[in-house]
């Protein structure tokens, strides 16, 4: 990809009608961070900021047709994987990714919504580990998701996170560059810690917790931000670390500015366009 080319990034994920998570949130994030967003619908949900009341997955034949038709025409520079729903969907996505071999596949193993509703069938977890994770450049689980992927309780301390990140890295191929971003937001306290690990270097990425109820779709937003930024970071030094740090800074600001939105009565969305809309407001006030 030329350094002047706007990257094409696709999200393969579920649709959240409230727009705070899933495919719609991913497309907002891609746009906010300078990437052209494409989308493949892997699931439909009846969902708002309070609950998920229903899930429908498309026939796998049509899911495959979506992917094949898109990849036959559009050069894809990165892939973000979100909610995949069930084992048949996971298998189909894994097969098509193996066929097209796109670069920079970022997997956010979405299993539970912010409301606590289940978004990934238990039967799909083994398929995810065995067929899909080996094709991923990076996985971005939170602590409960890490526990499910590893078949054990979730890490409960930073020390346990270190061991969890090491074990998660073992689920990825050892013969090439692959990364784990283990998110520590479920630990108590005002200081957050994420760990970024490539099998060699373990980077601690601290942040200050923002006190707000508007945290719907934070995991989707972070993983899609990394997918948008990675193709744009490849010409620099430590491109993966740079993309992750920039993505985390973007999410922190999106959470901090989420109070400007008034969406729903539950866990509200983050403000994906905080920078763009702030510029628009400044221009309006000076006119």
Residue at token pair 């917790």: 209
pLDDT digits (tens, 9 = 90+) for 217-240: 999 999 999 999 999 998 877 899
- Quick one: tokens of 268? 């509200």
Which of 45, 57, 140, 218 is the catalytic position? 218
Which of 38, 107, 136, 220 is the catalytic position? 220
- Quick one: tokens of 123? 């039967």
Answer yes or no: is pLDDT of 287 > 50.
Answer: no
pLDDT digits (tens, 9 = 90+) for 238-247: 899 999 999 9
Could you please state the CATH topology (level 3) that the domain comprising 8-286 is classified under.
3.40.1190
Torsion of the alpha carbons at 35, 271, 220 and 116, rounded to the nearest 10: -170
Active site includes 215? yes
Domain ranges of the chain: 8-286
Q: What angle do CA 105, 110, 111 make, to 5 degrees?
A: 145
Supply the pLDDT for residue 231.
Answer: 95
Active site includes 220? yes
Which of 80, 217, 221, 268 is the catalytic position? 217
* Least confident range of 68-72, 92-96, 265-269: 265-269
E-assigned strand segments in 136-285: 138-139, 179-182, 191-197, 202-208
Mean pLDDT of the region 128-134: 93
Q: Is 80 helix (H, G, I), strand (E, B) or coil?
A: strand
Active site includes 20? no
Q: What is the pTM of this model?
A: 0.93
Which of 183, 184, 221, 268 is the catalytic position? 183
pLDDT digits (tens, 9 = 90+) for 256-273: 999 999 999 999 999 999
d(CA 55, CA 59): 13
Answer yes or no: is pLDDT of 283 > 60.
Answer: no
Answer yes or no: is pLDDT of 112 > 80.
Answer: no
């Amino acid at each position: 990809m030329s350094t002047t080319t706007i990257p094409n990034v696709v999200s393969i994920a579920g649709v959240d009608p409230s727009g705070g998570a899933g495919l719609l949130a991913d497309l907002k994030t891609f746009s906010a961070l300078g990437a052209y967003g494409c989308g493949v619908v892997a699931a439909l949900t009846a969902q708002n900021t309070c609950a998920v009341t229903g899930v429908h997955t498309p026939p796998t034949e049509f899911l495959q047709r979506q992917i094949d038709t898109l990849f036959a025409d559009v050069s894809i520079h990165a892939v973000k994987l979100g909610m995949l729903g069930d084992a048949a969907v996971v298998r189909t996505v894994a097969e098509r990714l193996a066929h097209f071999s796109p670069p920079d596949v970022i997997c956010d193993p979405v299993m539970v919504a912010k409301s606590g509703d289940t978004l990934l069938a238990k039967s799909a977890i083994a398929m995810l580990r065995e067929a899909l994770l080996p094709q991923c450049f990076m996985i971005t689980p939170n602590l409960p998701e890490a526990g499910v992927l590893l078949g054990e309780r979730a890490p409960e301390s930073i020390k346990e996170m270190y061991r969890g990140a090491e074990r998660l890295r073992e689920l990825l191929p050892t013969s090439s560059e692959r990364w784990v971003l283990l998110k520590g937001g479920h630990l108590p306290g005002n200081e957050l810690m994420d760990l970024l690990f490539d099998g060699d270097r373990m980077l601690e990425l601290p942040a200050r917790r923002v006190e707000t109820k508007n945290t719907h779709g934070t995991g989707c937003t972070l993983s899609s931000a990394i997918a948008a930024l990675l193709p744009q970071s490849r010409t620099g030094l430590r491109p993966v670390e740079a993309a992750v740090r920039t993505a985390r800074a973007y999410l922190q600001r999106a959470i901090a500015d989420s109070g400007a939105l008034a969406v729903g009565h539950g866990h509200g969305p983050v403000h994906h366009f905080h920078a763009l809309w702030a510029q628009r407001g400044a221009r309006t006030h000076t006119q």
